[in-house]
Amino acid sequence: MQTRIRALLLALLLAFSLTAPALAAETTAAQPAEAAAKTPEEAAQIAAKGAMTYGTANSISWAVWEDGKITISGGAEMAKGSGEAAPAANAAQTLYGIGSVSKIYTTVAVMQLAEKHKLSLDAPVTRYLPEFKMADPRYKQITVRMLLNHSSGLMGSTMGNAMLFDDPDPVAADTLLEHLAAQRLKAAPGAYSVYCNDGFTLAELVVEAVSGQDFMDYVKTSILKPAGLSSTFAPGGSFDTSRLAKTYFGTDPRPLPQDCLNVVGAGGIYASATDLAAFGGALTGTGLLRQSSLDAMAAPEYIRGVWPDDTLDALSYGLGWDSVEWFPFSQNDITALVKGGDTLLYHAGLVVIPEYHMAAAVVTSGGVSTYNELAATEMLLAALYARGVEVDTAVPALPGAQPAAMPAELMKNSGYYAATSAQYKVSVSAEGVLTMHYLNYPNTVPDQTFTYHDDGTFRDAAGASLLKFVQESNGQTYLYQKAFGQLPGLGTLPVSNYAAVKLPGNQIPAEVQDFWMGAAATDILPMDEKYSSQVYLALSAAGAAEAAETVPGYIGAARIVDETSALYELQLPGTGGRDGQDIAVWEDDGVLWLSANGSLYMAETGAPDLYTGGGTSYTTVQADGYARWYQVGGAAGKAMTVKLPEDGGFWVYDKDWQVTGSSVLWDDTTVTLPEGGFLVFAGAPGARFHLSFQ
């Protein structure tokens, strides 16, 4: 189910994989920033090129803000056909989706309302949203602070119909409370911080309830206007959408329609790099917030719950911020505040240094937010050096240790370990060798081995990374990992986190296991996504996934209860435990159906062959609004022409789930149907599609 049930793979995850080879990290003597030999402008160009190259971005824009003004800005885009980046025209005016960096705007809004005594961070959310209820009585303990520091205990991301093409429909935010009413919590409120999108959509609703304004109206009047920001918008706003950076899917040269992430408070804002950097700059003084509020945002909120003792990691949550202890600044007693953001198509990184009144933003079409954050870091290091401030960027060494005989009791830690998106079989031998088998990619990712050392850690042969078993105060056994990854031109990314948690054994009857294994091998089809949903495009990426091995008694990271349900119970802080899903399955007329976090799916076996009639036919969306899926069947090779209803669209896939036609992406009305493929028609109830075949 982790790979074959394609729609469930749709998750915006920032994960550090245990199986990804650690980049060799050499510890060097103390030294100033690598950018010291370059001008800030040269350093920015080099860093931007690195982010674009490693992230395979289509375009990039960047800006550095210092003491009230933009001092560096630029942009580049891949030149068509050359594979080389070229300077981009009007980069300062180009808009990008900033994804989860939007959470900082939401946090500022909440903090402003707290300053006005209109809300309290430590009051329950139900005080401001009395209609907020869940199928778990502990929801009453969730405070506003817990929404901002990711410790609410919510499953994570209720994103059905949130990611749309050229469609600002706010239905995902509008129906969140309805969906949460049927969900339970995956952890006790305040137990630990684990990345959570729904918490910030709830915070968006709190802002609206307390202020009496639409969320973006509040942002405009209370944040954008006071900060002098004129190039920040949201889906459905009044702005020139041609300013948005073009986005693409794979190597297809045709640009995609507008990327609309309609849970705005969690990730839907667009901004230019210069506006984003200036917004970061506005958080270095007392223009938008009092100093006490800025200090509260920058406080180490992550330490309130379960967290590794070694905190030198890419994550160290504050209020809104992903990191309040960012390397290498934290090693030099300089506070740097960092937030990354990803939609399916855009990626952003914002780094703010309050002490020096500096901020840098890097935004891309395509790419990876982590690389953008690292590029922004390099830009700031060079800008600091130009001011005469040298920052030691030497990579810390792993703690010294020597191979040793392993205590026999560590063998009890053998077993299965899991994060939401990755599961492992861990074997510890009497000889002190730990072997990691990655269940998600059993054929393409080789097993890794680590040898026991006298400090209780297991280390790889290169000495670049280590693992350790940690028994936490909550009774869980965690697989802790530590490493330092380096990319030329982008600096160092430290990793020091709980990568996975040990799964308890779950013996179930053989027939129940067989049922779920059959379900796991079934491709499922989204049934309640709008025709404009990006989920339909995401099926193409998921279709290439390797079939995974499974943990006995589990489906992905969820514990199988019986033939109807599996429960997500991982207690894993950071990002590894994000986006949990309880899964319910049932059969209707012999067809498997599945629901998870408010989204509905049907097995592909429920899709009938497309009826071509005598050359014409119809398909109509029924009163339930479910998408109408078909197998191409005997219609393969025919040219299908579709007369579209006003509120509907269609998608066509080949046997490998690659999109070969779409009215949504490319305004197709005629498509040649591929052998072994599928097609879907979706729209409002009653939407009727007239089909003709040739």
CATH number for the domain harbouring residue 306: 3.40.710.10
The string of pLDDT tens digits covering residues 147-179 is 999 999 999 999 999 999 999 999 999 999 999
Strands 85-87, 448-452: pairing is unpaired
In a domain, 380, yes or no: no
Report the length, in residues, of the chain. Answer: 694
pLDDT value at position 27? 34
pLDDT, residue 520, reads 85
Q: Are 430 and 478 in a shared domain?
A: yes
Residues 337, 255 share a domain: yes
Q: How confident is the model at residue 136 (pLDDT cuts 50, 70, 90)?
A: very high
In a domain, 127, yes or no: yes
Element containing residue 659 per DSSP (H, E): strand 659-662
What is the average per-residue pLDDT within 427-433? 98
How open is the CA angle 265-52-277, to the nearest 5 degrees? 45
* pLDDT (average), residues 650-674: 97
Q: Please report whether residue 183 resides in a domain.
A: yes
Task: Please indicate, yes or no, whether residues 599 and 629 belong to a single structural domain of this protein.
Answer: no
Confidence of residue 33 (pLDDT cuts 50, 70, 90): very low
**At 632, which CATH number?**
2.60.120
| Residue 37: per-residue pLDDT | 55
- Yes or no: say if 121 and 203 are a contact pair by the CB < 8 Å rule: no
Helices (H), 289-445: 291-297, 369-386
**Same structural domain, 325 and 447:** no
Looking at 356, 388, 423, which one is the last position of a domain? 356
Mean pLDDT to the nearest integer, 137-146: 98
- Comparing 50-64, 76-90, 248-262, 497-511, the range with the smallest average pLDDT is 76-90
Whole-angstrom Cα distance, residue 177 to residue 556?
Answer: 26
Q: Are residues 540 and 645 in the same domain?
A: no
Residue 30 pLDDT > 50, yes or no? no
In this structure, are 12 and 100 located in the same domain?
no
Per cent of the chain over pLDDT 70 is 94
Last residue in a domain, options 606, 640, 660 = 606
Residue 376: helix, strand or coil by DSSP? helix
* Average pLDDT value for residue range 87-109: 94
Q: What is the pLDDT of residues 568-580, one digit of tens each?
A: 999 999 999 999 9
Cα gap 441→273, rounded to integer Å: 37
The DSSP code sequence of 311-354 is --SS-B--SS-SBSS-TTGGGGT---EEEEEE-SSEEEEEEEEG
Q: Is residue 84 in some structural domain? A: no
* pLDDT at 546 exceeding the cut of 90: no
Taking only the tens place, the pLDDT of each residue in 277-324 is 999 999 999 899 999 999 999 999 999 999 999 999 999 999 999 999
Model confidence at 80: pLDDT above 90: no
Residue 5 near residue 522 (C-beta atoms within 8 A):
yes
> Which of 356, 387, 408 is a domain's end point?
356
Q: How far apart are CA 277 and CA 101, in angstroms?
A: 11
- Token pair of 401, please? 């240790």
Confidence class of residue 403 from pLDDT cuts 50, 70 and 90?
very high
335 and 186 part of one domain: yes
**Mean pLDDT for all residues in the chain:** 92
Q: How distant, in Å, are the alpha carbons of 125, 375, 522, 540, 683 from that of 627?
A: 35, 42, 18, 17, 7
Domain that holds residue 533: 1-27+400-606
Q: Which amino acid is at 629?
A: W
659 shares a domain with 570: no
HSE, side-chain direction, 13 A CA sphere, residue 430 = 0
**Interval 67-75 mean pLDDT:** 97
Q: Is the same domain home to 523 and 639?
A: no
Q: DSSP for 100-164, please give it.
A: GGHHHHHHHHHHHHHHTTS--TTSBGGGT-TT---SSGGGGG-BHHHHHTT-S---S---TTTEE
**Predicted local confidence at residue 87, as pLDDT:** 85
* Domain annotation covers residue 77: no
Structure tokens at 451: 């040898």
Q: Do the domain assignments include residue 221?
A: yes
Is the residue at 71 inside a domain?
A: no
Cα 687 to the center of its chain, rounded Å: 33
For residue 378, tell me if it sits in a domain: no
Return the structure tokens found at 359. Answer: 């901020």
Q: What is the pLDDT of residue 85?
A: 79
Asked if residue 1 has pLDDT above 50, the reply is no
5 with 150, same domain: the answer is no
The predicted pLDDT at position 232 comes to 98
Q: How many domains does the chain have?
A: 3
Asked whether residue 10 carries a pLDDT value surpassing 90, the answer given is no
pLDDT reported for residue 8: 42
